[in-house]
Structure 1
């Protein structure tokens, strides 16, 4: 590169960095910084190769609030994180924290939010009030936020939301209320946001989901209760009519709660459901008719429950199922013969002693850490087997009928 081109490049780079600095900045962090920056787990969103740190920053900016941390290593690798636990640093010195992500509010009256604090940013499409120590939203605080599409209220101290909390946000598409201290939601709390598409309520203290909670959310496709996400709450009860109006819902994450039973009525109305994560609950029983109402399920995770017995015809209606995870249960035997499209099967850490299933479409099979003494799996011996990943580690195998060429 000649001098004139280099000078031009540096000028352009300086302009870009000034523009970024005016709205966002990235601060190098170390494990001894403010503990509020860290989380209870590390969430890596994306990794990709690039020669320039600026490219890594640009990628982070394009991801809105989902990008919280970046690293750029000497081997030209960009890592983008949503969350990082303190122990993950482990001597690393290339972590950068995204200080300013979306239009922010600087509170004039402590941790209360009212209309006056939103005057200057109410015309934006996205508002970020995360990590602000917020514990109360005054009724109609968002009255003049008619154009806002995305609202992030995560990592605050909110304990309650009422029917007027989101009044005026008629175009809101994405709402993140995760990592607060909410224990109860009024039944009509979401009635003012009929266009809501993504809802994240994970990591709160919710104990139940009332019948009319989502009555007005006919456009909702993703709920993250961990995109409907209510994971990592304390939910014991789901009313049979909670999901009755959510005909468009595709994903429900309700893992890490305290639900002990589900049946054909639990998610009634969510007939287009494709992904259901109900792992790490206290499930002991699943009604045999459950699958008859959710024939569009593609991904089902029921791992880490106490499901010692599953009805033989439980999976009969799940003809589209491709991914099934049942690791860490107490299963002794299971019939999967009806799952003709299954690709990924995880039965690790159960009590299976004998396994012989003829699943012609399975590509990934995990049955490790079972007291498995006998394995006869026709697909593995077949010349046309579809299995390319098999994990039978930590078993007690005395006999296998497996022909791996």
Structure 2
């Protein structure tokens, strides 16, 4: 079927694989494809009533650059995508040139993994995708503040170059990994009560008085720019091993209760308390750049091997 350009099928088929048909431009399965479970294709597809669809994959290979006029479904151009009818979907991957309706993913009760790259959506809401475990969204997506509210099974979240005003993750109590960058403003209690959180990365986000003191199992923190911390923001994080704070703000930061810290890197408008590092017996590496502290005492950091301190420290 190398010369096949158009394909229509809407009867009793449960699996369609057309990924090798590189000339295929349009597939129409717009009738009631009630039995369709798997679809693998290299082109644009209209699937508004495929109620049984579980997986949809696209071939994204060298030929995609030649398909600019009509594109590849989930790999290039589509305006107004709505998958809310595909109730059995477990995995969604959408790459480039796709505009999703705000409720285009609503009610997908079986969805476990969501990847969106270079798509567009104004006000995405996935709060009813209760089984989601992993989310990876990159570019072009504007989220509502409660976009992730109630996702109690969510374990991994990556948001890069997205937009949101007042993001709240406090109800996602199984989160283990968070990576957020871009024009996202976090609520001060955004991370409150995330007791299973192990890794936190925030880059170029905004937050006033961020508090992560209830993230008791956190091991690594990497925060840069735009974040204002409370003096006790990191209080009681007894499993914290690695801390990087770059170009953040804090008045009187205290790390003395983080007794498993091994690596500390702090730069920017942060004022340290004189006993900030008191009792950090496992600390091995300390870097302080452009910080402020009067009479800093690190005499109880018995295992320290590397110290790099520049400007502002007395």
Q: Give the TM interval when normalised to the shorter protein.
A: 0.5 to 0.7
Residues 366, 127 of structure 1: alpha-carbon distance in 2 compared, 3 angstrom cutoff? farther
Q: Kindly indicate which of the two structures has a greater share of residues assigned to helix.
A: 1
CA RMSD, aligned part only? 3.9
Match of 2:282 among 340, 361, 376: 361
The 2-side partners of 1:174 and 1:335 are apart by 38
**Does 2:133 correspond to 1:197?**
yes
Match of 1:137 among 49, 57, 81: 81
Which residue in the other structure is 1:174 paired with?
A: 113
Contact 2:193 2:215 in 1 (8 A): no
Q: CA deviation at 1:206?
A: 1.9
Q: CA deviation at 1:253?
A: 2.8
Q: CA deviation at 1:159?
A: 4.2
**Does 2:258 correspond to 1:339?**
yes
**When the two structures are aligned, how many residues end up with a matched partner?**
263
- SS state at 1:328 partner: strand
Q: CA deviation at 1:369?
A: 4.1
Which residue in the other structure is 1:220 paired with?
A: 154
- Equivalence map 1:94-243=2 (5 Å): 103-107=40-44, 113-115=46-48, 127-128=57-58, 130-140=74-84, 142=86, 146=88, 149-162=90-103, 165=105, 171-186=110-125, 189=126, 191=128, 193-210=129-146, 213-215=148-150, 217-224=151-158, 226=159, 231-239=160-168, 243=170
Which residue in the other structure is 2:14 paired with?
A: none
Contact 1:325 1:345 in 2 (8 A): yes
Q: CA deviation at 1:133?
A: 1.6
Contact 2:244 2:266 in 1 (8 A): yes
The 2-side partners of 1:207 and 1:196 are apart by 16
Q: CA deviation at 1:153?
A: 0.7
**Does 2:179 correspond to 1:256?**
no
Q: CA deviation at 1:319?
A: 1.7
- SS state at 1:259 partner: strand
The 1-side partners of 2:149 and 2:95 are apart by 20
The 2-side partners of 1:248 and 1:260 are apart by 19
Residues 372, 195 of structure 1: alpha-carbon distance in 2 compared, 3 angstrom cutoff? closer
Contact 1:178 1:202 in 2 (8 A): yes
Contact 2:167 2:184 in 1 (8 A): no
Q: CA deviation at 1:176?
A: 0.5
Q: CA deviation at 1:209?
A: 1.9
The 1-side partners of 2:284 and 2:246 are apart by 17
The 2-side partners of 1:190 and 1:331 are apart by 33
Which residue in the other structure is 2:230 paired with?
A: 310
Structure 1 unmatched ranges of 5 or more: 1-21, 24-101, 400-405
Structure 2 unmatched ranges of 5 or more: 1-18, 21-38, 59-72
Contact 2:82 2:101 in 1 (8 A): no
The 1-side partners of 2:187 and 2:110 are apart by 36
Q: CA deviation at 1:104?
A: 4.0
Q: CA deviation at 1:190?
A: 5.2
Residues 201, 355 of structure 1: alpha-carbon distance in 2 compared, 3 angstrom cutoff? same
Structure 1 residues 79-132: Cα deviation after superposition (integer angstroms, max 9, x where no partner): xxxxxxxxxxxxxxxxxxxxxxx9444016xxxx4258x89xx565x6245432
The 2-side partners of 1:274 and 1:114 are apart by 39
Q: CA deviation at 1:334?
A: 2.3
The 2-side partners of 1:166 and 1:261 are apart by 24
Q: CA deviation at 1:318?
A: 1.6
Contact 1:137 1:161 in 2 (8 A): no
Contact 1:181 1:205 in 2 (8 A): yes
